[in-house]
Structure 1
């Protein structure tokens, strides 16, 4: 799949990684940014994201390094940790399906009604999302195929929506940085389900921060679960709160994440 989708071969891969490391070395000599990782898995997520166009991949990895430098509150030990990810994941707000969609992409579920945006800590929220993304991207299949997001926004009260507006408005610039320029994952689509009539407020807030390609990947399906099943995956792969029949257990992804973290630590690498 990697060769077909991304023109990836062993020769292309090795040369691109060498070229990217050289560009990172030169950038670090300027003394403005420091890259916290240089291992193959880390570099390949950026190269695959940009179809092995090294200069474009470097622009993203540099932006990521700048984001980490400029937002130490996100990467604090309190917010950016396995402990914080585990606590957030157990709320059921975010889930990663064990099965990919029919195109091989990772599927992330977001159940908005399980969050009170008036009380949510923005930095902690972003940190958990980033940590989960780092875990997901250790899987080469996800680097190649990318991910889709399914958001159930049924039950999102107007009051909570206004909390979300304030929540995102406070850090609009940060949201733009991460969504537009720094995330090394191919996002195949964002699917909104059970949306209330005032969804337009939410989309009006988010869409201006996105590039045209990302805007085109927004899909509003309402209660048309059959349409979602046909488009992405059978209902047997989704949990009951997303119209399916599969029982998900938070411990499955948490244990997977812990194994990823432990494996990297053995190599002297931190997420």
Structure 2
């Protein structure tokens, strides 16, 4: 039997994978092989087939082979349909690097509670609203998520908790978040990405944020709506979910700094240059899809409606 090319989990992570994700270590070779064979049998699909990448989808779907198939299909379908949102191929793109250097998002080094979800720290509005679009923001987010899929076992096993600081967000920033763009990002997150969003905490929210939040919330499934929290300027309520020590140094915490996070992301983009360049060869061809083609109008809704997604 061929040896898998995957990372060995530490005992705590392995125990969590078995308990929370229904992972059976002795069955990994067979599970990954089954998913790879399915990919090779799909005439419309060109997807990565390396062990660690396929394992990410299996873990993200709690080892439901059918759900993993669905997510991989949606992952490449949406990247092919909307590459400007979801498919990074050039890590030297100046907009990509400028947004990274603005500190719009960093992933903090210590997971929540030491062994738990990865913490994403997002600073909305730290970039010029007249220079970057919503698709530029989505492009950055997806590029970083590609790296998490390959190397962050805490994110894959325990999910991601996001802290979104809206202090610098102006009305112009919030107006960029169009319903059409938000729908694309939410559908991709819930139907295509094998990273579970465990919670999102909005903090330092201005009065104008209420309108945006009321637009955003109904787009999620009811389960995900329950995972959204707005704390305003009441940081004590945030600390009930994420203790201060797990925030960046700039916010009084002990969990690395924004500057260090930016440097780390730039290094990772450099290291993964060839990986991202290869993204151009993967995707879907709807003309070759067996059965009915994807109904994008139904997927995203028509005339402003939005199909609710019930996912874990």
TM-score (norm 1): 0.84
Pick from 110, 115, 120: which aligns with 2:132?
Answer: 120
Q: Which residue of 2 aligns with 1:148?
A: 161
Q: Structure 2 vs 1, CA of residues 156 and 123 (structure 1 numbering), >3 Å: closer, same or farther? A: closer
Deviation at 1:192, TM superposition (A): 0.5
Residue correspondence of structure 1 range 180-219 to structure 2 within 5 A: 180-219=190-229
Find the aligned partners of 1:236 and 1:49 in 2 and give their Cα distance: 24
Q: Does 1:11 align with 2:21?
A: no
Q: Structure 2 vs 1, CA of residues 105 and 236 (structure 1 numbering), >3 Å: closer, same or farther? A: closer
Question: Is the Cα contact below 8 Å between 1:225 and 1:243 reproduced in 2?
Answer: no
Deviation at 1:49, TM superposition (A): 1.1
Residue correspondence of structure 1 range 48-197 to structure 2 within 5 A: 48-74=59-85, 80-84=89-93, 85-102=96-113, 103-138=115-150, 139-161=152-174, 163-164=175-176, 167-197=177-207
Deviation at 1:206, TM superposition (A): 1.6
Q: Structure 2 vs 1, CA of residues 174 and 63 (structure 1 numbering), >3 Å: closer, same or farther? A: same
Larger relative contact order, structure 1 or 2 (CA cutoff 8 Å, min sep 6): 2
Q: Does 1:258 align with 2:267?
A: no
Residue by residue, what CA displacement relative to the aligned partner does 1:52-103 show, whole Å, maximum 9, x if unpaired? 0100111111000101221233467xx6432244332111111111111115
Find the aligned partners of 1:20 and 1:258 in 2 and give their Cα distance: 30
Pick from 232, 235, 239: which aligns with 2:245?
Answer: 235
Pick from 222, 239, 244: which aligns with 2:253?
Answer: 244
SS in 2 for 1:231: coil
SS in 1 for 2:202: strand
TM-score (norm 2): 0.74
SS in 2 for 1:82: coil
Find the aligned partners of 2:27 and 2:274 in 1 and give their Cα distance: 27
Q: Any stretches of 5+ residues in structure 1 without a counterpart? A: none
Find the aligned partners of 2:153 and 2:29 in 1 and give their Cα distance: 15
Deviation at 1:2, TM superposition (A): 1.0
Q: Does 1:21 align with 2:30?
A: no
- Indicate the larger mover: 50-59 or 100-109: 100-109
- Indicate the larger mover: 42-51 or 221-230: 221-230
**Segments ≥4 residues shifted beyond 6 Å:** none
Pick from 207, 210, 223: which aligns with 2:233?
Answer: 223
- Indicate the larger mover: 246-255 or 14-23: 246-255
Find the aligned partners of 1:269 and 1:3 in 2 and give their Cα distance: 32
Q: Any stretches of 5+ residues in structure 2 without a counterpart? A: 1-15, 281-312
Question: Is the Cα contact below 8 Å between 2:86 and 2:138 reproduced in 1?
Answer: no
